[in-house]
């Protein structure tokens, strides 16, 4: 089943095309392209892992040896695993929003009001898709404390162990910089 956000993006793409809204059309196309590229990269990684699991490390060996290829069921399963969810797409929105904000700051410093206006227009479109309610510092801290307990974090040296889990759980729900700041503060307090 296709993620509802994918359906909405495709509908909005068609509507922007009908309306002649070039900014929205370009922005939505960029997001669709970004998630499709990310899905293809994820699928390629999964296929490579499946072949390695089957004992095939040199993919060139597959040519002319169909018995070594993946089954249709394995390929279908990989396709499902590679399919992006709404949370994955929201993470792309978060990345694009951050890029736009950084660009706006840079263009303001460079005295480029034309480019600032373009980036602000794209940012407004991206923000319309983002969840309106971002988690508070307290909510981020609560998730962090729970994950610290799960992985047995005891100080700043354990940051690598916890960040992956926290980022995966809070993907699209909180700003990555804010999560990093909260985790760093909490781990330093444990030390």
Predicted pLDDT at 137: 87
C-alpha dist (Å) from residue 68 to 47, 72, 170: 13, 12, 39
Which uninterrupted H or E stretch holds 35? helix 22-53
Residue 55: phi and psi, rounded to 5, are: 90, 10
What does the pLDDT look like over 39-90, one tens digit per residue?
999 888 888 888 777 776 666 655 555 445 667 777 778 878 888 888 888 8
What is the number of other CB atoms lying within 10 angstroms of the CB of residue 17?
A: 14
Calculate the average pLDDT of the chain.
85
Q: What is the pTM of this model?
A: 0.66
Looking at residue 80, what is its pLDDT? 83
Q: What structural domains and CATH numbers belong to the chain?
A: 4-129 (1.10.1510.10), 137-190 (1.10.10.410)
- What b-and-e string marks burial along 118-131, b requiring 16 or more CB atoms within 10 Å of the CB? bbebbbebbeebee
pLDDT at res. 59: 62
∠23-25-27 over CA atoms, to 5°?
65
Q: Find which of 9-13, 165-169, 176-180 is predicted with most confidence, using mean pLDDT.
A: 9-13
pLDDT-derived band at 17 (thresholds 50, 70, 90) equals very high
pLDDT of 108 reads 95
- At residue 12 the predicted structure's pLDDT band, cuts being 50, 70 and 90, is very high
124-133 tens-digit pLDDT: 999 888 776 5
- State the Rg of the chain over Cα: 21
Task: Please state the rounded mean pLDDT for residues 99-127.
Answer: 94
* pLDDT value of position 53: 79
Output the pLDDT for position 115.
95
Quickly tell me which residue has 């660009």 as its tokens. Answer: 103
Q: Is the pLDDT of residue 188 over 60?
A: yes
């Amino acid at each position: 089943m296709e993620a509802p956000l994918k359906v909405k993006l495709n509908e909005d793409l068609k509507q922007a095309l009908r309306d002649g809204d070039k900014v929205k059309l370009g922005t939505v196309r960029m997001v669709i392209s970004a998630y499709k590229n990310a899905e293809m990269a994820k699928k390629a990684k999964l296929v490579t892992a499946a072949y390695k699991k089957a004992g095939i490390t040199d993919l060139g060996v597959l040519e002319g040896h169909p018995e070594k290829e993946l089954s249709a069921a394995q390929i279908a399963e990989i396709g499902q695993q590679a399919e992006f969810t709404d949370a994955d797409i929201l993470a792309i929105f978060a990345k694009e929003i951050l890029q736009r904000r950084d660009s706006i700051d840079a263009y303001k410093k460079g005295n480029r009001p034309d480019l600032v206006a373009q980036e602000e227009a794209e940012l407004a479109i991206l923000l319309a898709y983002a969840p309106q309610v971002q988690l508070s510092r307290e909510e981020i801290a609560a998730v962090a404390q729970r994950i610290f307990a799960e992985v047995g974090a005891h100080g700043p040296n354990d940051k690598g162990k916890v960040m992956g889990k926290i980022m995966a759980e809070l993907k699209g729900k909180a700003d990555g910089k804010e999560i990093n700041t909260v985790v760093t503060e909490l781990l330093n307090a444990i030390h």
